[in-house]
Amino acid sequence: MVQMIALWVILPLLSIAVALPVFRLVRGPSLPDRVVALDVMGTVAIAIFAAYALINDQPAFLDAALVVGLIGFIGTIAFAYYAERRL
Amino acid sequence: MISLFQDIVSSVLLIIGTFLLLLAGIGIVRLPDIFLRMSAASKASSLGAGCILLAVAVSAADIAITVRAVAGVLFLFLTAPVAAHMIGRAAYMIGVPRWKGTVIDELKGRYDTRRHTLRGVDGAAQRPQRGAGPLGDVRDAGR
């Protein structure tokens, strides 16, 4: 049951949730707006990886989710340093 | 095979997490200010992804998958506040405009963004003290 729910309910809603911040990424008035939008997209990507691991019974996707989260964290920190020291 | 109990708990956690992630996406689009958007981004999205990872951990039949999912939850809850703090601090330093409904800015005029030093509050700055420089007595000497 949980795999059917994840396939037919969770993944479409998560695809909407990962498409919404693209608006802010394109339109955002300042650099930190875009960085926050990218951060949210990375977090939703972790959730999509986890749901995919649940659907296909492939635990290797969980490792990919961890790596994506690490890259998103380091990217956000780097962008924060860049935006602050640029003045 | 997973039991019915695991199935129900995992489904409920999946639905809660997806709802929170949708809220985070809507908040990113709709909220008026970088700081308000950041609150939606850090809290709702980390809790939503944590719920989905916990759903994976509950429904897993193998202990290795559970450990990996719980490690992912811990990593997410450790890194999301740090990232939000860093980007919010950078946004304040470079002077991103705030929403017009924001009424309190307690740091306004008290922080030297060039030298990263904190000016004291008004009462403390007038108190005579030995060694107080032109910026006042409360000073972040380590920076």
CA distance B63 to B41: 31
Instruction: Write down the domain spans for chain B.
Output: 4-93, 106-143
Longest CA–CA span in chain A (Å) reads 54
- Say how many domains are in chain A: 1
pLDDT by residue (tens digit) across B46-84? Answer: 999 999 999 999 998 889 999 999 999 999 999 999 999
Which residue, among B131, B129, B132, B88, has the nearest Cα to B107 in the 3D structure? B88
CB B21 within 8 A of CB B55: no
Token output for B81? 């506040």
Q: Specify the range with the lowest mean pLDDT, choosing from A1-5, A71-75, B15-19.
A: A1-5
Give B-chain residues touching A76 at CB under 8 angstroms. Answer: 83, 86-87
**Amino acid at residue number A20:** L
CA distance A61 to A67: 10
**CB nearest to A80's CB, from B25, B90, B97:** B90
CA distance B29 to A27: 10
What number of C-beta contacts closer than 8 Å exist between A and B?
Answer: 179
Domain extent, residue A68, equals: 2-85
pLDDT at A66 over 90: yes
Token output for B4? 């019915």
The pLDDT assigned to B127 comes to 45
Q: Is A45 part of the contact surface with chain B (CB cutoff 8 Å)?
A: no
pLDDT band at B119 (very low <50, low <70, confident <90, very high): confident
Which residue, among B58, B56, B45, B57, has the nearest Cα to B18 in the 3D structure? B45
Across the interface, whether the CB atoms of A62 and B56 are under 8 A apart is answered: yes
pLDDT by residue (tens digit) across B74-112? Answer: 999 999 999 999 999 999 888 888 888 888 888 787 777
Token output for B122? 């008004």
pLDDT by residue (tens digit) across A2-61? Answer: 788 878 899 999 999 999 999 999 998 889 999 999 999 999 999 999 999 999 988 899
